[in-house]
């Protein structure tokens, strides 16, 4: 390629860049008012979002953490009615926290505690309601909250739904503790329901994939009986 051709190509590139810059300048001139309004709106939105988290959401979460302390102590002492409803002397229960501080992490956690409390009190429908409102990706709490719903259904003699929840709990986040526990529960209920095929299937999974679990020590006895 000759120097003349190279020069022409360079000139052409500069011309294209110049045209692009001119087009951008014309666009800015024509739309400056709209752009100013748009940037202003984005700025206001950013301020509102920051203000919401800093001056509303964060203080609510802090107050919720303070108020939930007594309810958690009552839960740890197995005083489940007090944990749910408070003690009547100004100390909140989990139900108060859920209602007053909805949308906060503490209120979400209160759903879990409320569900487990109702389960211990034999109020299974309430247990299912609050446990299903609880959301988490924690590798232990997620399967436990689902498995607890299985316990509630089992206590209501809804065997099929209980098995469904146990299997869901086992598969939600697989680990050495909760997965064999809920597979074993699913196997036992499957046996009661007369479904020996699935009962053996769940037990075989425990035997193969979780040989060091507590449940694995019982598996062979159950499999021999079912077969």
User: 208: part of which helix (H) or strand (E)?
Assistant: helix 196-209
Question: What's the chain's Rg over C-alpha atoms?
Answer: 30
What single DSSP character describes residue 123? -
Please determine, for residue 44, whether its predicted confidence score (pLDDT) is greater than 60: no
Domain 137-227, CATH among 3.40.50.2300, 3.65.10.10, 1.25.40.10, 3.40.190.10:
1.25.40.10
Buried b / exposed e over 186-210, threshold 16 CB at 10 Å, is bbbbbbeeebeebbbebbebbbeeb
Q: Which residue has the higher pLDDT, 217 or 34?
A: 217
Lowest-confidence pick of 27-36, 39-48, 56-65, 218-227: 39-48
For the chain, percent of residues with pLDDT exceeding 90: 67
For the chain, domain boundaries:
46-135, 137-227
pLDDT bin (cut points 50, 70, 90) of residue 88 is confident
């Amino acid at each position: 390629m000759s120097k003349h051709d190279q020069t022409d190509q360079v000139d052409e590139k500069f011309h294209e860049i110049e045209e692009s810059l001119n087009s951008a300048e014309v666009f800015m001139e024509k739309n400056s008012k709209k752009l100013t309004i748009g940037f202003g709106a984005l700025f206001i939105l950013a301020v509102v979002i920051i203000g919401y988290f800093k001056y509303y959401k964060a203080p609510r979460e802090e107050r919720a953490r303070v108020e939930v302390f007594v309810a958690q102590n009552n839960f740890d002492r197995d005083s489940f009615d007090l944990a749910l409803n408070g003690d009547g002397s100004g100390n909140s229960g989990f139900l108060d926290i859920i209602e007053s501080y909805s949308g906060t992490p503490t209120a979400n956690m209160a759903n879990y505690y409320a569900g487990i409390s109702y389960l211990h009190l034999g109020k299974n429908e309430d247990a299912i309601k609050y446990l299903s409102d609880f959301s988490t990706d924690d590798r232990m709490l997620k399967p436990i909250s689902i498995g607890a719903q299985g316990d509630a259904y089992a206590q209501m003699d809804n065997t099929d739904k209980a098995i469904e929840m146990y299997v869901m709990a086992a598969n939600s986040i697989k680990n050495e503790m909760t997965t064999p526990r809920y597979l074993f529960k699913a196997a036992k209920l499957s046996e009661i329901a007369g479904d020996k095929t699935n009962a053996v299937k769940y037990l075989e999974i425990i035997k193969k994939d979780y040989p060091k679990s507590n449940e694995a020590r019982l598996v062979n006895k159950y499999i021999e009986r079912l077969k």
